Amino acid sequence: MVANALKRGPELAAGAIRTKRKDRADRWPELVTAAAELFAEKGYEGTSLRDIAERLGMLKGSLYHYINGKSDLLVHVMREAHARGLRTIAAQAEGEGRAVSLLETMVEAHARYVCTETVFTAGFIEARKHLPPERAQEFVLEERAYRLRVEALVARGQAEGDLREDLDPKVAALCLLGFLNSLHNWVRPTGVHSIRRICDHAVALGIGGMRCR
Amino acid sequence: MVANALKRGPELAAGAIRTKRKDRADRWPELVTAAAELFAEKGYEGTSLRDIAERLGMLKGSLYHYINGKSDLLVHVMREAHARGLRTIAAQAEGEGRAVSLLETMVEAHARYVCTETVFTAGFIEARKHLPPERAQEFVLEERAYRLRVEALVARGQAEGDLREDLDPKVAALCLLGFLNSLHNWVRPTGVHSIRRICDHAVALGIGGMRCR
């Protein structure tokens, strides 16, 4: 369903020494998930390689089969979050139809992603803050393209007469994306509010408020 | 204008040794502000007392005139953010009038706070994450009261026929408050988008989407 960067495995850890032992279970997906979990729980600075190794029941030294250091995991958490989230969401907003309908589809998909992938959303937000600019470059263009796509849909929705003309498409897009990412702060996948219901509210508030009255 | 906890000074640092030298300039407000700035920039775990002392041009040891340790600063950043923000915002939503008007006033005040007090908003969000539960207690009730007030206004707005009946007041309140706090992620006080304009968008998206069509 989702193009999953984890499946590409540890060859992504450029320069990392890959063990040759074929009988070693590939712990790569677990490693990236544990990193995302710990970044979300304790913050990047508060997470040590020892914490990550402990969560996986590995020795700290074994992590160096996969990565050169903790900062490598920032990139891998980001890549995985992009693969699971942004790319899938953006794809859903392709296709025919009025801009406002595409926006609703996209908001629904984005809200659903944030509500179900809470660990990768929180891990992503934490990783984003700590990623050095030179390593952020590969993500910047994709994120910008996503935001520009939302902006363009808002502008088209205005031209089509569905959305309020007094809104600035850029400010509206920034508000909307910030709102959607903020859901991870309180939504719990096992919470009392169904994800379906939360997504409905996200569409109501996110898009309903932009519609012409 | 704003009830300012900083003015109450370092007696808030329960148990901290207060210097008796009257000629010492009281650095307390600067200290709490520097802590909020650094928590926002580098995260709580990534901030050392040495960083804080350096920003203030003080010796690290001098900080112990004000606090017993770094974790004290979590509480003080929280108190200051509550005093500047939440209490003032909540007060604006008192008074007569239809619930939807009070909600708009409140959303406008909350958005304006987040857009102007970006350091304390970001510092608060970081401090909130790291505050031990036993020290969070003093804030929990006030934050809950604020959320319940928003919920009650949504429910009253529904009863008054202004807001969509299909919305769950609690989910709507959580979405709304999460959205407002998310503004600090991209709004810059000196940015190209005027605060007035951003607040208008916050009201449009936050409340416009709840209105009956």
Dihedral class, residue B14 (left if φ above 0, else alpha if ψ from -120 to 50, else beta):
beta
Residue B199's domain comprises 2-210
What pLDDT shows up at residue A25? 55
Find chain A residues with C-beta within 8 A of B175's C-beta: 179, 183, 198, 201-202, 205
The answer to whether the CB atoms of A175 and B183 lie below 8 A apart is: yes
The answer to whether the CB atoms of B176 and A206 lie below 8 A apart is: no
Which residues of chain A approach chain B closer than 8 Å at the C-beta? 42-46, 129-130, 164, 166-168, 170-172, 174-176, 178-179, 181-183, 185-186, 193, 197-198, 200-202, 204-211, 213
Residue of B46, B171, B197 with shortest CB distance to A197: B171
Ranges under pLDDT 70 in chain A:
1-25
Whether the CB-CB separation of A202 and A111 falls below 8 Å is answered with: yes
The residue assigned the tokens 């409905």 is: A200
Angle between helical axes of B99-116 and B118-130 (0-180°, round to 10): 90
Number of H helices, E strands in chain B: 9, 0
Instruction: Pick the residue from chain B with its C-alpha nearest to A206.
Output: B205
Q: Hey, is B163 helix, strand or coil?
A: strand
The answer to whether the CB atoms of B204 and A201 lie below 8 A apart is: no
User: CATH number, domain at B30?
Assistant: 1.10.357.10
Distance, in Å, from the CA atom of B105 to the CA atom of B90, rounded to the nearest integer, reads 10
What pLDDT shows up at residue A165? 96
Distance, in Å, from the CA atom of B163 to the CA atom of B153, rounded to the nearest integer, reads 10
Provide, for chain A, the percentages of residues in helix, strand and coil under a 3-state DSSP scheme, each rounded to the nearest 5.
70, 0, 30
| Long-range contacts, stretch B28-31, CB < 8 angstroms, 24+ apart | B28/B66, B30/B56, B31/B56, B31/B63, B31/B66, B31/B67, B31/B73
The answer to whether the CB atoms of A172 and B45 lie below 8 A apart is: no
From first to last of its 213 residues, what are the pLDDT tens digits of chain B? 334 445 544 444 444 444 444 434 588 999 999 999 999 988 898 899 999 999 999 999 999 999 999 999 999 999 999 998 887 887 877 778 999 999 999 999 999 999 989 889 999 988 988 999 999 998 999 899 999 999 999 999 999 999 999 999 999 999 999 999 999 888 887 777 789 999 999 999 999 999 998
Burial call B14-43: b when 16+ CB within 10 Å, e when fewer: eebeeeeeeeeeebbebbbbbbbbbbbbbb
The residue assigned the tokens 């990565």 is: A67
Q: Hey, is A163 helix, strand or coil?
A: strand
The contacts of residue A70 (CB under 8 Å, 6+ apart) are A44, A47, A48, A49, A52
Q: How many CB atoms lie within 10 A of CB B145?
A: 11
Residue of B171, B205, B213 with shortest CB distance to A198: B171
CA neighbor of B24 nearest in space, from B56, B52, B48, B69: B56
Distance, in Å, from the CA atom of A106 to the CA atom of A90, rounded to the nearest integer, reads 7
| Long-range contacts, stretch A144-149, CB < 8 angstroms, 24+ apart | A145/A90, A146/A86, A146/A89, A146/A90, A146/A177, A147/A173, A147/A174, A147/A177, A149/A90, A149/A93
Closest-CA distance of chain B to residue A164, Å: 9
What pLDDT shows up at residue A61? 93
The answer to whether the CB atoms of B204 and A167 lie below 8 A apart is: yes
Q: How many CB atoms lie within 10 A of CB B101?
A: 16
Whether the CB-CB separation of B32 and B77 falls below 8 Å is answered with: yes
The pTM is what? 0.83
Angle at B208 between CA B205 and CA B210, to 5 degrees: 105
Encode pLDDT of B151-173 as tens digits.
999 999 999 999 999 999 999 99
Render B89-127 in DSSP notation, one character per residue.
HHHHT-SSS-HHHHHHHHHHHHHHHHHH-HHHHHHHHHH
Q: How many domains does chain B have?
A: 1
Model ipTM? 0.82
CA neighbor of B162 nearest in space, from B201, B205, B213: B213
Closest-CA distance of chain A to residue B5, Å: 27
Find chain B residues with C-beta within 8 A of A43's C-beta: 43-46, 129-130
Instruction: Pick the residue from chain A with its C-alpha nearest to B202.
Output: A175
CA neighbor of B131 nearest in space, from B60, B64, B35, B11: B35
CA neighbor of A169 nearest in space, from A158, A160, A180: A158
Closest-CA distance of chain B to residue A20, Å: 36
Closest-CA distance of chain B to residue A83, Å: 22
Whether the CB-CB separation of B53 and B73 falls below 8 Å is answered with: no
Q: Hey, is A120 helix, strand or coil?
A: helix
Residue of B129, B175, B201 with shortest CB distance to A172: B201
Interface test with B, best of A167, A179, A187 (most B CBs within 10 A): A179
